[in-house]
Structure 1
């Protein structure tokens, strides 16, 4: 397993340049004290899973009211450093009413590596000044290191608008942070619904820039926001908490989505993410800061990272299509006699 923040071809770049940032809604990730609510100690107990997944940074959401000088914060930061993982804080800083230093400085003193900011304007650079050299992921006018976007998420599963979204974001000039966080409200998801999810994961992770995942996204969970993470077992709350109570907010059929179940299945969505993140972080073809497009059939596209990098092909049409030249290193679904099936993406080198 690679150390977080390192790449084979860009050791002179900032750690966040192509980082995979994993946003954790702390209250719904893991409950260590048995009160039914997730906490930092619960997250700390699951850092081994995040290391296994292959993320570079964990982003703490829902922790802004936590005392940064607390023992729980210190223990989390220490253990994250031990495994080479960065820690960022999701924060809402409005420079028009609040001094950014009052929010950011206590966390910077504890050693956090950066902040994922709620959408705000910072035309005068007050947030940048308060953050010093910490990494900033932001949206809107400001001096951000990474520009957060949901353009892939809103483009739908159609090759033409997805290509338009990619082209627009890359043309903006700021290093992008791509997100595909689910906003649907369905309580269950079958294999047909997972097909575009898996394909778009490979599109997102092939692009130049950082990637922002939300916890549970790697399991293929629908509507993951504030839903307790399913870890193990056959019944809710699936290892999230030892507390007794009403866990009806967690669908009972999520037994097939648990981390435990998917880790044992080489064809699961979690296994796909693990393979993709390992390949993305270690294979030298994941370099180049732009993309070049190939000709492709209607409903399809293929782009290559500049400099003979990885090629990503996507088929959103109803028919299998030929693959671009290269050796397939990963596909979101099995290939069809060497052709790219409908609803499938593949990486080639």
Structure 2
């Protein structure tokens, strides 16, 4: 697939990073590794850093540019590592600093950048800071690192406001002396007070700790939630149930001060040329999103409109237009993601079974044809679907209050080889989440040499995106298309070359459709009498 040449080029680029700021991230293909589910090297049934290192050859073969590693820091694992007790060390569950350094060095040798999670909205309740806050009491400098408030009611017996946690239940927990502390997520994840300069200083220390080791940047967790309004006003209760755009007042997120925090992240990264900050932004206000991506702030910001849009050409087209317009307004690239560890897998989200797989394959071609950065989630290249989980299996804070909501359905370990679980993920048959037997035909081994497999489609699409001259230009131009379909061409916004570019066609109608003129580069499904079938996409040059 020509990756050897690209690996040498990437290595040369890294050597040159010290001399010039690199913007490799503007059109990079990132690959999210959910560390505990990728590969288990020591037989405890849980993925680890050495397991990731052992699979770098596969990742190079896939063709991705960069990794995003989910948290591997010291943690009680209440929220699978997003409750961080020490952000500057590796939890023994995943290895140690020596293992991380070896993984980082070897990834760079393979031409792959490495970005890691920065969890700066909250800590674990086992963090030394929080233990000190509980011990110090009301009005102490230690408590000011977090958000402690007096309760309401005659005796302070009610929470300070009506905010609810993203995991369900109140966003406040009362401590022994009667005060309450804020946690936008689990009670074991107290929110930090970003008005306190000590918080900023400590986060900077964490950033420099990993940047000095050579990481290429951060995915910033809850980048839309770190700033809190001083008066902590009540929220509209309807906002708690809203997923996607809504008009309900939700002062938990997108508050004044976020842009300044993002500028702080950027100022640290500017001292490390070629590094990137990608914000997790569940933000659907176009003006706010643009503000977060203005020069001097975040390099990239997740826009989840496409992931939350049904498989329908008209609504997908509208989501694409809006998702491109906002970052372009401020000179930033778009950032695309159809899946991650918090979302249902695409195959299940688009209907499940064969129909869901066809649509997921089609949407992969749509996503990779678009200008900007792309984030893939481990396992989507295998066409994995959600798994059925018995009650109580896996650690999922929200599932305690909402049995119908369990993000772990999209987090089962990766099937590598063989015909039965654990499919080479671990020498231990008891993996931290169960693996379904019907994945036997979706292992890496089963798909690698099959030219019609989903894995082969991903490899071919990523390779074409990187190497074909038609993939240029930072905008798109829509073509006329039949009902239930769309077609767009990658285009130069400056209009300097009107003839170049790849054309992407998507068919969400119920019938095969004619393709526009052009040389067929790739299709997500075989053509039918020269026509593109339903639930399919194609690239033409």
TM-score range for the pair, normalised by the shorter chain length: over 0.9
Structure 1 residue corresponding to 2:104, chosen from 59, 69, 77: 77
Correspondence list, 1:138-157, <5 A: 138=279, 139=281, 141=292, 143-157=297-311
Structure scoring higher RCO (CA < 8 A, sep ≥ 6) equals 1
8 A contact 1:60–1:90 mirrored in 2: yes
Q: Deviations over 1:8-43 (max 9, x none)?
A: xx9996111110000001111001111111110000
In the alignment, which residue of structure 1 is the partner of 2:259? 123
**1:6–1:175 Cα change, 3 Å:** farther
How far 1:71 sits from its partner (Å)? 0.7
How far apart, CA to CA, are the structure 2 residues paired with 1:116 and 1:255?
32
Aligned position for 1:107: 210
Which structure 1 residue ranges, 5 or more long, are not aligned? none
Q: Is the 8 A contact 2:344 2:410 kept in 1?
A: no
- Counterpart for residue 195 of structure 1: 358
| DSSP 3-state at the match of 2:473 | coil
Which structure has the larger Rg over C-alpha atoms? 2
Corresponding position: 1:50 with 2:191: no
Q: Tell me if the contact between 1:4 and 1:57 (Cα under 8 Å) persists in the aligned partners.
A: no
What is the Cα deviation at residue 147 of structure 1?
1.9
Unmatched segments (≥5 aa) in structure 2:
75-87, 91-95, 122-192, 225-257, 282-288, 387-408, 492-496
In 2, Cα distance between equivalents of 1:316 and 1:226 = 28
Q: 2:466 aligns with which of 278, 281, 285?
A: 281
What SS class does the counterpart of residue 42 from structure 1 fall into?
Answer: helix
The answer (yes or no) to whether the contact 1:89–1:112 under 8 Å persists in 2 is: yes
SS in 2 for 1:191: helix
What does 1:232-311 correspond to in 2, within 5 Å? 232-245=417-430, 249-306=434-491, 307=497, 308-311=500-503
Distance across 1 between alignment mates of 2:34 and 2:103: 15
Q: Is the 8 A contact 1:22 1:214 kept in 2?
A: yes
Alignment match, 1:158: 312
What secondary structure sits across from 1:274 in the alignment? helix
Q: Deviations over 1:50-89 (max 9, x none)?
A: 0000000011112244626811111011111111110000
The answer on whether the counterparts of 2:412 and 2:433 sit within 8 Å (CA) in structure 1 is no
SS at 1:202's partner residue?
Answer: helix
Once residues 8 and 117 of structure 2 are traced to their aligned partners in structure 1, the CA distance between those partners, rounded to angstroms, is: 19
- Classify the secondary structure of the residue corresponding to 1:67: strand
Whole-Å separation in 2 of the counterparts to 1:104 and 1:162: 37
- Show the counterpart of 2:514: 322
Per the normalisation by structure 2, the TM-score is 0.61
Note if contact 2:422-2:429 (Cα within 8 Å) is conserved in structure 1.
no
CA distance in 1, matches of 2:471, 2:520: 14
* Higher mean C-alpha displacement, 193-202 vs 85-94: 85-94
Q: Partner of 2:44 in structure 1?
A: 35
Would you say the 8 A contact 2:46–2:431 is kept in 1?
Answer: no
Q: 1:119 to 1:13 in 2, by over 3 A?
A: same
Distance 2:502 2:474 in 1: 12
Deviations 1:190-230 (CA, angstroms, capped at 9, x unpaired): 32220100000000000000110010011111236321111
Q: How many residue pairs end up in the alignment?
A: 347
Does residue 216 (structure 1) correspond to residue 216 (structure 2)? The answer is no
Determine if contact 2:44/2:431 at 8 Å carries over to the other structure.
Answer: no
Give the distance between the partners of 1:3 and 1:44, measured in 2 at CA.
20
What secondary structure, in the 3-state scheme, does the structure 2 residue paired with 1:153 have? coil
How far does residue 169 in structure 1 lie from its aligned partner after superposition?
Answer: 1.0
Worse-superposed segment, 99-108 or 227-236: 99-108
Specify the alignment match of 1:347 in structure 2. Answer: 539
Instruction: Determine if the alignment matches structure 1 residue 135 to structure 2 residue 276.
Output: yes
Q: CA RMSD in A?
A: 2.4
Cα distance per residue 1:71-114 (max 9 Å; x no partner): 11110111111111100002222381632313211110100001
Deviations 1:280-310 (A, max 9, x none): 1110111100000001111100000114211
| Aligned match of 2:344 | 184
